[in-house]
Amino acid sequence: MSGIHGSAGTRPRGDAALLKAARTRVKTLRNGTQVVDSTVWRAVKAWAVDFGIVVALAIVVAVLVGSSEAGTAGTAAGAGVATWLVAPWLYGFCCAGGRSLGSLASETEVVRISTGGAPGSWRAGWVMFARTVLFTVLVLVLLLGTAEGSAPSGAEPKGRHLTIDRRFPRLPAGAPAIPPYDRPADV
């Protein structure tokens, strides 16, 4: 694809199955830019890596506080929970370009649905907090609700961000209706 799309594409042109799958995941953002939505598994991989980093940091802080001379089990647990709540914000502020270590590992990127641009530093902190803390709490609530036999209710969340596949370039507004992701290699 690099011959057709510049250096943004990283996959070879001959991978027809990959190109066909990309074509089915094309999303048009509010400003008309076309992007390829990431697969669920790539998004989960990015979330898992980011979650692992935050949890590892919380565990390290808890162990350090607990093993200190004045440390108790309660202070260690408190320090671990506090780190788990604060570290995603700091980690997100460092990943304001929409590319965290999880995104780099899974070749994805978080973009704003309205513009296709990277979230700012405050928004990146919020996205990371949502990925690592709120998502975990949501899963626990869903599991507990299922065990109780009830279903959670509420309004649908307003989508502000999208995780896209970085292996495919963004197509500007006015690009062809059928993205060139499915063109044969000889074109």
The string of DSSP codes covering 40-79 is: HHHHHHHHHHHHHHHHHHHHHHHHHHHTSTT--HHHHHHH
- How would you write 154-165 as a 3-class SS string? CCCCCCCEEEEE
> What was the pLDDT predicted at 55?
93
pLDDT recorded at residue 145 = 72
Residue bearing the bigger pLDDT, 134 or 158: 134
Question: Looking at this protein, which amino acid is placed at residue 68?
Answer: S
Residue type, 84: W
- SS3 state of residue 7: helix
Residue 97: CB atoms within 10 Å? 15
On the question of pLDDT at 6 being above 50, the answer is no
Say what the pLDDT of residue 162 is: 79
pLDDT digits 0-9 by tens, 21-55 = 777 888 888 888 888 888 889 888 988 999 999 99
Q: What is the pLDDT of residue 68?
A: 85
Per-residue pLDDT tens digits for 60-110:
999 999 998 887 888 999 999 999 999 999 998 988 777 889 888 988 888
Q: In this predicted structure, what is the pLDDT of residue 53?
A: 93
Rg (CA), the chain: 20
If you count DSSP H runs as helices and E runs as strands, how many of each does the chain have, helices first? 7, 4
Per-residue confidence (pLDDT) for residue 171, from 0 to 100: 74
Query: If 0-12 CB within 10 Å is exposed, 13-18 middle and 19+ buried, where does residue 173 land?
Result: exposed
Identify any residues that bridge with 26 across adjacent strands, giving them in sequence order.
36
- Helix, strand or coil for residue 27? strand
pLDDT above 50 for 156? no
Least reliable range by pLDDT among 14-18, 19-23, 89-93, 156-160: 156-160
pLDDT at residue number 3: 37
| 21 CB-near residues (< 8 Å, 6+ apart) | 39
Q: What element of type H or E holds 18?
A: helix 16-24
